[in-house]
A and B are shown apart, each in its own frame.
Chain A
Amino acid sequence: MSQSFDDISAQLKRRHRKSSRLKWISMGALGLAGLFLVLFFADMLSKGLPAFQQAYIEVELDYNEDAQRMGRAALDPEVSRLVSRSFERLIPGMLRDDPGLIGTTEQRWVLADSEVDQYLKGHRSRLSEDERETVDELVESGRLELQFNTTFFTEGDSKMPERAGILAAAVGTVMTMLVTLAIAFPIGVMTAVYLEEFAPDNRFTQLIEININNLAAIPSILFGLLGLAIFINFFGVPRSSALVGGMTLALMTLPVIIIATRTALRSVPDSIRHAAFGVGCSRWQVVRDHVLPLATPGIMTGSIIGLAQAMGETAPLIIIGMVAFIPDVGASFTNASTVLPAQIFTWAGEPERAFVEKTAGGILVLLSILIALNAAAVVLRKKFERRW
């Protein structure tokens, strides 16, 4: 069978067309993914950036007798509706702690109510016409303004949107991640070292390997059920605590760390091991002094990525009670605490409009942390990576 030159060149043309079509389709896919990403970020930024500003109002506080019982009595009735109740309710306590204040007055910048805040930001607000006028006048005279929202970073959750912050959730995330790391990192690395360096290659170790790969792909909510059954119901670890959260997420992170560590160990060339054996090192010395140090960047990268994954996880935490209203900063590993994604989830369900920006603000904070972690993983890899 012989083909004419024309046939061949037509076929060639077809093949070129095919490959250029594939190129355009894949570029289109990338473009689409990029577009979604841009839309997502634009939406989050436009909704979330206002959360970093909050309305504050300068009021004159008159610490009279009545204010000992009703905080509102210390305020001029004209503006008391505009001040956050989270401040008012503290006044009786302040006077109890320092009775010398009674009978004095004070000028002070305090948190404004969230309706005022929403009005200033041009969102829907339930303020009446009169109140709007008062607000406009106060803004005019410089006694009411948007300031940087420190409360967002120094307070825990609150039902009052103006006072709601992410501190409790951020501290909870740190504590939970410490527990996760303390459990998953040593166990994961040691398991990988055993499987890669010591274990014989037989049916049993193959079975273990398949199971580890499987575990990495299991829906995370199942780990929550496991945590509930084993840690809470059997071992009696306190529900909602950072301890039980960390332990549950450690189960989830373990396979990721094991797999990453094994890959890192495998990429250390055998010639290094052979050379070490050749000068009379024991297996343990080979692993400790040569293989592990060379594999460290890969292990760190894998662990950081595993940790970042665990940090964004909510589903298993619902089961073990960490998705809850927890405004206090957890003082210890056994206290009830919550984590950032759980906090975002809780805010997303609140009816008040002002929580929309809090939700987006929380997402921005979580995203920045995750980007920082992933960037750290990339930097570590680039800096310490060795090519053989």
Chain B
Amino acid sequence: MNRILKNTAIAVAVMGVAGVAQARDQIRIVGSSTVYPFASYVTEEFGAVTEYPTPVIESTGSGGGIRLFCNGVGEGTPDISNASRRIKASELERCAENGVTDVTEVKIGSDGIVFAQSSENDELELTLEQLFLAVAAQVPQNGELVDNPYQRWSDIDSSLPDREISIYGPPSTSGTRDAFEELVMETASEDMEAYGGEAYTEIRADGAYIDAGENDNLIVQRLSEDTDAFGIFGYSFLEENSRSLNAASIDGVEPEPEAISSGDYPIARSLFFYVKNQHADDVPPLYDYVDMFVSEQMIGEGGYLADIGLIPLPESEREQVRNTVEERKQLQASDLE
């Protein structure tokens, strides 16, 4: 009740002097839908155990989040942007142009992208190249690029099951799709002569790859109905549905926490958030929240976030992250190369 009274008082005060930049108590966060489940867990905890209001998180996607974040400094702009990839040099540049010059990068853990099917099927071993051949729009045949002719897995390699290729995956607006294109498509195509060393990221549109929307739950649901199909989604959804799904191993590595965190599993990426240090004085709880996020009870082994599917960083790296936060280390364009 006290908090409500206090908020009302603050709101009235803010309205009274509308237009003047004001300190605020509520942190504003935007960004990646992959980081969202973890960040919202921390914000809720933060709201429950401190006297500050629960920070507001909008799930806008990594790119959309960074765009809002870099719009400028001041009350109306977000304090933190979550990202399921590193900020790009061009984005940091735009930040600086708009006056957002002091940004700290915080790495919170890793996430693996899994290629999974209903557990009624036998487990499957794939190579990155086979996976690429199943989803690419054009594939090499006798040294030439032709429209993807593979309709069944056994067409790609006779050791694979004789099942129709049918893959539910994220749409092009999703960060998971970006990561999939980068980690699977680019990596595999760069090694193939037919593409001339260029990265090829076109995904087939003949019906074998099905855009299943941003909602990973839908993909999971469809896999239990359509047992021939595969789905592409984040590791946390695999863990939550471990009884009904099994994931293919890629290049002989199963998507397991250790393999994802060490980078042995080839489709793994790091998760980040970016803090606008220029807001630290106007938004008093900002670094209390960041400190809580990087604490051992959250991102550590067996921490709360590991329970809901975050893959923790190795211990030394966690220590390093805490140092970065302590120093509020400013991210430089040169760090991104």
Contact = CB atoms under 8 A, between A and B. Distances in A.
Nearest to B19: A236
Interface string B236-266: 1100110110000000000000000000000
A159 B308 CA distance: 10
Interface residues of A, number: 35
Contacts of B308: 159, 351-352
Taking chain B's interface residues, is the majority helix, strand, or loop, or is none over half, making it mixed? Answer: helix
B40 A351 contact: no
A308 interface: no
Interface string B278-314: 0000000000000000000000000010001100000
Interface stretch (B41-49, B124-132, B180-188): B41-49
Contacts, number: 92
B151 to A, nearest CB: 32
B240 A352 contact: yes
Interface in A21-58: none
Interface stretch (B50-58, B97-105, B108-116, B165-173): B50-58
Contacts of B47: 327-328
B216 A351 contact: yes
Nearest to A240: B56
B58 A323 contact: yes
A332 B8 contact: yes
Nearest to A71: B49
For A86, A324, A334, A350, the residue with the greatest tally of chain B CB atoms inside 10 Å of its CB is: A324
A351 B217 contact: yes
Nearest to B55: A325
Contacts of A232: 76
B243 A159 contact: no
Given A89-B49, A327-B47, A349 B217 contact: yes
Nearest to B242: A126
A321 interface: yes
B74 to A, nearest CB: 10
Contacts of B45: 89
Interface in A311-365: 321, 323-329, 331-336, 348-353
A363 B316 CA distance: 46
Taking chain A's interface residues, is the majority helix, strand, or loop, or is none over half, making it mixed? Answer: loop
B4 interface: yes
B11 interface: yes
Contacts of A351: 37, 216-217, 236-237, 240, 308-309
B23 interface: no
Nearest to A239: B76
B36 interface: yes
A16 to B, nearest CB: 45
A174 to B, nearest CB: 15
Given A239-B76, A348-B217, A350-B37, A90 B48 contact: yes
B111 to A, nearest CB: 12
A93 interface: yes
Contacts of A325: 36, 40, 43-44, 56-57, 59
Contacts of A151: none
Given A158-B44, A159-B41, A351-B37, A327 B54 contact: yes
Contact of A324 (B3, B59, B241): B59
Given A90-B48, A332-B8, A349-B215, A324 B37 contact: no
B15 interface: yes
A108 interface: no
A331 B54 contact: no
A124 interface: yes
Contact of A335 (B7, B28, B49): B7
B19 to A, nearest CB: 7
Interface in B200-240: 214-217, 236-237, 240
8 contacts: A124-B244, A158-B44, A159-B44, A325-B44, A348-B215, A349-B217, A351-B37, A351-B309
Interface of A: 85-86, 89-90, 92-93, 124, 158-160, 232, 236, 238-240, 321, 323-329, 331-336, 348-353
The 10 A-B pairs with the shortest beta carbon distances in the complex, nearest first, are A331-B7, A332-B11, A325-B40, A324-B58, A336-B56, A159-B41, A325-B57, A351-B240, A331-B4, A328-B54
